[in-house]
Amino acid sequence: MGASRFERFEKGEKPLFVPFITAGDPTSEITVELALSLEKVGADAIELGIPYSDPLADGPVIQRASSRALQAGMTLEKAMKLVSSMREKGLKIPVIIFTYYNLLLQLGEERFFALASENDIDGLLVPDLPFEESGELRQQCQNKGISFISLVAPTTSKERLKQIGHSAKGFLYCISSLGVTGVRRELSSDLDVFLKKAKEYSNVPVLIGFGLSNKEQMQSFNDLCDGFIIGSRIVSKIEELGRELIQLEKRKEALESFEEFVSSLVPSFVYR
Amino acid sequence: MINVYPDTRGRYGMFGGKFVPETVMFALEELERGFHDAMEDPLFIENVSNELIDYSGRPTPITFASHLTERLGGAKIYLKREDLNHTGAHKINNAIGQALLAKRMGKKKIIAETGAGQHGVAAATAAARYGLKCKVFMGEEDIKRQALNVFRMKLLGAEVIPVTSGTGTLKDATNEAIRQWVGSVDDTFYLIGSVVGPHPYPYIVREFQSIIGKEAKQQFKQLNHGKLPDAIIACVGGGSNAIGMFSPFIEEDKVKLIGVEAAGKGLDTEEHAATMAKGTLGVIHGSITYLLQTEDGQIQEPYSISAGLDYPGVGPEHAYLKHSGRAEYVSITDDEALEALSILCTDEGIICAIESAHAIAQAIKEAKAMSVDQSILVCLSGRGDKDVHTLFEREEFHDGSK
């Protein structure tokens, strides 16, 4: 059952590490392999991004991944079914479906929840569904044992931060910088004030994401949060390795260099 | 009553709302407060009004299309002449309003999206007039197709940013403008071009465009001994000229409201922009409305010969007006629009925009079926100078081909 995987989701010796990959980039089969690789190098959960024609919250790297995956024919339904393949191959960590709202609307909520339970899905994150519009869906997720992941930003008002923090499930996603996803060299210096507030109001682990790209950034926030979400940096590595990943004879090597890259990205204390 | 919309959630019935990333919420909240304050400030209202008069040349007249009416032998056709605005279309009404709002909110820069470049030109114009820096996001495909408008924006001092994401057209330029706005909201105002996007944009743009309908209502009554038109017709892409025209008439139950979408090469083809006729309910640019999309929910690229109508969504208030039955939405093909354009040229001496020609084409159909004591008011949203090169490439506009 999905929710149980998140029950053990808390910061232990090491900060939590949640990578993001786009389903179907470069192919469905490789997405499954990449998920297993990520678990192997210490991921505590995976955000599985569903490609969308108009990804408003995403920067160029994830936009390109989205286009590649769409060309490969990926859909929300197919992506959810991929999670079953991941489980069959031994994936144990929670999987969160990251989808824009329109895709969910067109699939239909009923169908979504049926697929979520058939395919062992643990969480749902809808980046363009703000708190005010998500009430019903959050309730449904609660009933079906799916963790509905909420986001807060440094510009989120105190009142909203309180509300969102209190109702957060799984983990609270703190957006570290304004704008879109993507690597940034510098993060705002007020971030610690924001993270402290977020921790104060949240009943679940507080993770930061958007713009994270190196160990130094993560080390500096380790005391202020429970973990990290890394997207664009990982997705751009997949883009770089795309051709090798597709060729069967080079895949193993490519996956190894992917694992090595991800390992180098996160601070050593992330590792078991 | 319909005019109380949008509600506090920015909804028009089930349509509209704010379906945006959390990072955008603050910017929208600030905008909502800024707009609300401005509309309560008599000085701001007066300032906008004066600029519309002294700078854009309002009020625009209503012209009785006597020869066209005579030719059809049915209802009298009147034209609300938005083509006589500064920059040649209704777009400037909104650009002036929002640019002054930006200034009032203390912003130094504006960003805008543009498809064919009409809104980009209007935004660049207003930015120049009010001393704001201006960046216009434009799909790289559109930049290629609309080189002259790109040049116009540059002449006006704006920077044109090519957008390569997605299909490189209006919808992608809109996405990119929203993305950029979120990262720079402290000094930047996003000047949206139509009654689309997340709340409060559809509301703000309606309020700034409703000058069209307010003037028209008064002018028409004066011309017709206090009578109102039997029907009002306007073209609909995102739908800002249509909402501006319809808005003050919504409460007049006897006035039929007709929005005209682009049927492109025909509703039975893939190449059209008929969101109301062929679209389904979904979310585009932060708003629930009808849109052209695949079964899976990927947004599809629309087509129309008129760049101003090829938007894959439609303003949420239009979706609501259709849903509630208050307005009717029809569609006109490229060929029908061009024929209407040609008739208007020779009958009335007006070269209208191809967008507006869609409304004229529908008026021609309606007028024939109506009696001589009835009348139709058409929103002639823009002039056709920008389209002359498109017309030039069509055989039917050259000697001997007709």
Phi-psi region of A73 (alpha: psi -120 to 50; beta: other; left: phi over 0): left
* Cβ atoms of residues B289 and B319 within 8 Å: yes
> Which structure tokens are listed for B298?
């990927």
**What would the mean pLDDT of B79-91 be, rounded to a whole number?**
97
Q: Give me the residue from B21, B27, B280 closest to A56, CB to CB.
A: B21
Q: Kind of pairing, strands B133-139 and B109-114?
A: parallel
Sign of the torsion formed by the C-alpha atoms of B126, B128, B132 and B137: positive
Predicted confidence (pLDDT) per residue in B255-286, tens digit: 999 999 999 999 999 999 999 999 999 999 99
Nearest to A133 by CA among B7, B202, B19: B19
Length of chain B: 402
DSSP state of A20: E
**What would the mean pLDDT of A181-209 be, rounded to a whole number?**
82
**Is the pLDDT at B326 greater than 90, yes or no?**
yes
Q: Give me the residue from B26, B283, B285 closest to A156, CB to CB.
A: B26
Do residue B23 and residue A178 have CB atoms under 8 angstroms apart?
yes
Q: What is the pLDDT of residue B142?
A: 87
* Cβ atoms of residues B355 and B47 within 8 Å: no
B45 Cα distance to chain centroid? 22
Strand order in the sheet with B280-284: B11-12, B15-16, B287-291, B280-284
Q: What is the pLDDT of residue A219?
A: 77
Q: What are phi and psi of A271, to 5 degrees?
A: -90, 145
ipTM summary value = 0.94
**d(Cα B45, Cα B53) in Å, to the nearest integer?**
12
Q: Give me the residue from A52, A101, A151 closest to B22, CB to CB.
A: A151
> Which structure tokens are listed for B83?
């083509």
DSSP state of B158: P
Q: What is the pLDDT of residue A271?
A: 47
**Is the pLDDT at A138 greater than 60, yes or no?**
yes
Please state which of the ranges A109-123, A211-225, A250-264, B72-86 shows the lowest mean pLDDT.
Answer: A211-225
Q: Which of A115, A128, A167, A187 to mutate: most B Cβ within 10 Å?
A: A128
* Cβ atoms of residues B275 and B285 within 8 Å: no
> Which structure tokens are listed for A261?
């890259």
Do residue B21 and residue A132 have CB atoms under 8 angstroms apart?
no
The two counts, helices (H) then strands (E), for chain A are 12, 9
DSSP state of B157: T
- Catalytic pick among B113, B301, B339, B355: B113
Helix (H, G, I), strand (E, B) or coil at B263: strand
The interaxial angle of helices B211-223 and B201-209, nearest 10 deg, is 30
Q: Which of B20, B22, B298, B299 to mutate: most A Cβ within 10 Å?
A: B22
**d(Cα B362, Cα B370) in Å, to the nearest integer?**
13
H-state helical runs in chain A: 2-7, 28-40, 60-71, 76-88, 101-107, 109-118, 135-144, 158-167, 191-201, 215-221, 232-246, 248-265
Q: pLDDT band at residue A79, thresholds of 50, 70 and 90?
A: very high
Q: How far is B28 from chain A (nearest CA, A)?
A: 11
Could you give the C-alpha distances from B120 to A65, A187, B91, B170, B236, in angstroms and in order? 30, 32, 9, 11, 18
Those of residues 88-147 in A touching chain B at CB distance below 8 A are: 100-107, 127-133
Do residue A155 and residue B25 have CB atoms under 8 angstroms apart?
yes
Q: What is the pLDDT of residue B401?
A: 46
Using an 8 Å CB-CB cutoff, list chain A residues near B196. none
Do residue B29 and residue A157 have CB atoms under 8 angstroms apart?
yes
Q: What is the pLDDT of residue A1?
A: 44
